[in-house]
Amino acid sequence: MAPKFDTIVLGGGIVGVSVAVHLQQRGRAVALVDRKAPGSETSLGNAGLIQREGVYPYPFPRSARALLSYASNRALDARYHPRAMPRLAPFLLRYWWHSEPTRHAAIARAYVTLIEHCITEHRILAEAAGASELLRHEGWLKLFRTRAMEDEELRAAEQCHNEFGVNFEALDKARLHALEPDLSTDVIGALRYTTADSVTDPQGLVLAYERHFRVLGGRVFIGDAATLAPQWRVSTEEGEIEGQSVVVAMGPWSDGIASKLGYDVPFAVKRGYHMHYAAEPGARLHHPVLDAENGFLIAPMARGIRLTTGVELGLRDTPKTPVQLAAVEPAARELFPLRARLDDEPWMGCRPCTPDMLPIIGAAPRHKGMWFAFGHAHHGLTLGPVTGRLIAEMMTGSETICDPKPFRVERFRV
C-alpha cells in the first residue's frame, strides 16, 4: 500500500522546503518530493541576499532610451536570445504594461505586505534549524561610479524609506572604503541597506531547513513531479506516495505541472549565472556589493567570492550561454582583486517570473487540495520562509500573516 501523507510538497528549493517545515510544525504529515537533493537547483546559485528593501520588484524598462540601449544586446546587466523573443513577446508585453509607474507603485503596496516579514521569518527558521551562523546581519552595498547614478538611486531609496520604512545609509567615498578597503577607488560612494541580511551558503541554508523538517518528522523523497495525478499521487524512487493535498513549489518548473492540470499561467524565466573566485592574498570582502552601473554583484560565500550576473532572457531549457559572465568579469576584477576561477564551468539558474512581478501563492481554484507557491522571480530566497508560513496558515485555516488576495492565481483568470 502506498504511504499516505496529509500533504505532498513538490519542490526542494527554499520555497518548497519552507512550506514543508511550516506545515510539519503545524501537525501535518508532510512528504517533500524533488528529482534531486534539496537546494540543488535555483536555490543553489543566488546572490545570497534577503532583501527587506526590495519592495519595488524589478520592473521592465519603459523609457525609449533604455529600450534602445538593451536592443543592441550588448548591455552588461541584461541580454536576450533573439530566437526566444517570439515565444517570450506576449509575456514581455504584459510585464512592460505592469511596469508603468502607477501600476508598479500599486504592486509595491501589495508586495510590501509579504516582503516586510522576510528577515524575521528567516531568522526564526534559521534559529530553529540551528543555522543562524549562516546569516549575516550587516546589510549589503549598492555601489556608484557616477554622481548621476548615485543621485538617482538615493532618490529611490528615500522614496522607499518614506513610503515603506526601508532604512538605508548613504556612504561617501571615505566611509565606503573604511567598510570595504579593498574595493576599487573608482567607486565614489554607496547605499548600504541596513535592514537586509545575507547568506554565506544559500544551499547550506536550504539543507539546514530540510534537516530541521526531517527532525520534525517530515519525509524526503526523490521523485518525478511530472507523475502527479489527482487526488494526489506521485511516483518516487521508493514507490508511489499519496497525499490529501499537494503544494506545487517547483520554481521555474512549476508552470509545467500547472498547465498539465489546465491552468494557463503567464510565466517566463530570467536566467542568470555565477562563478566563484579566489581573492588575492590579504584581500577581504565583508558585504555583498552590487555594481549599479555594470549590473553584477559579488558576494563573500563559503566557497569563495561569488560573481552573479544580471538577467538573460531565454527559454528555460536551452543550453548555457554565459556571455554576460565573460562580459562583466573584467569589471569585477577591476572592482575587487579576484584571482583564479574556482568552478569548472559557470553555473546557470532560472528565476521564475510572472508579468505582474508578484508570486503566485494560494489554492488552485478548480482542484480541491491543490496549492501553488511559485513565481518569486529575484526574491525566492528572500520570500521562502514567509511564503511557507502564509501557505501553511491558509491550508490549516489559521489567521494569515498578510492578506493573501494579491497573490492568488485567479488574478490571471486562469
pLDDT at 393: 98
Report pLDDT digits (tens) over 174-224.
999 999 999 999 999 999 999 999 999 999 999 999 999 999 999 999 999
Percent of the chain with pLDDT over 90: 96
Mean pLDDT value across residues 56-83: 94
Residue from 351, 354, 317, 311 nearest 80 by CA = 311
In terms of Cα–Cα distance, which of 243, 213, 265, 268 is closest to 370? 243
Over residues 24-50, mean pLDDT: 95
Q: Which tens digits make up the pLDDT trace of 335-344?
A: 999 999 999 9
Q: Identify the DSSP state of 36.
A: S
Q: What local confidence, expressed as pLDDT, does residue 250 receive? A: 97
Mean pLDDT of the chain: 97
Which domains are assigned to the chain? 4-45+203-267+355-412 (3.50.50.60)
Containing 306, the helix (H) or strand (E) segment is strand 305-308
Nearest in space to 42 (alpha carbons), one of 34, 53, 54: 34
pLDDT in tens, 114-162: 999 999 999 999 999 999 999 999 999 999 999 999 999 999 999 999 9
For residue 1, what pLDDT band results from cuts at 50, 70 and 90?
confident
Q: Which three cell numbers stand for residue 399?
A: 489567521
**What is the full DSSP assignment across 208-234?**
HHHHHHHHTT-EEEEEEEEEEETTTEE
Map grid coordinates 513565481 to a residue.
Answer: 375
In the predicted model, what is the mean pLDDT of residues 321-325?
96
Tell me: pLDDT of 266 over 80. yes
Cell reading at 273: 549565472
Q: Which residues does residue 156 pair with via DSSP β-bridges, in sequence order?
A: none
Beta 289-291 vs 347-353: how paired, if at all? unpaired
Exposure string (b/e) for 128-143, b if CB count within 10 Å is 16 or more?
bbebeebbbeebbbbb
What pLDDT score does 30 carry? 98
Banded model confidence at residue 414, pLDDT cuts 50, 70, 90 = confident
Grid cell 583564479 — which residue? Answer: 340
What pLDDT, on a 0 to 100 scale, did the predictor assign at position 255?
A: 95
Note the pLDDT of residue 2: 82
**Residue whose C-alpha cell reads 491550508 in the numeric block:** 395
- In 3D, which of 123, 193, 198 has the Cα closest to residue 165? 193
The grid coordinates of residue 171 equal: 556612504
Angle, vertex CA 72, rays to CA 67 and CA 74, nearest 5? 110
| pLDDT tens by residue, 9-23 | 999 999 999 999 999
The Cα 8–Cα 229 span in angstroms is 12
Listed in order, strand segments (DSSP E) in 145-199 are 169-172, 189-193, 197-199
pLDDT at 294 over 80: yes
Greater pLDDT, 413 or 360: 360
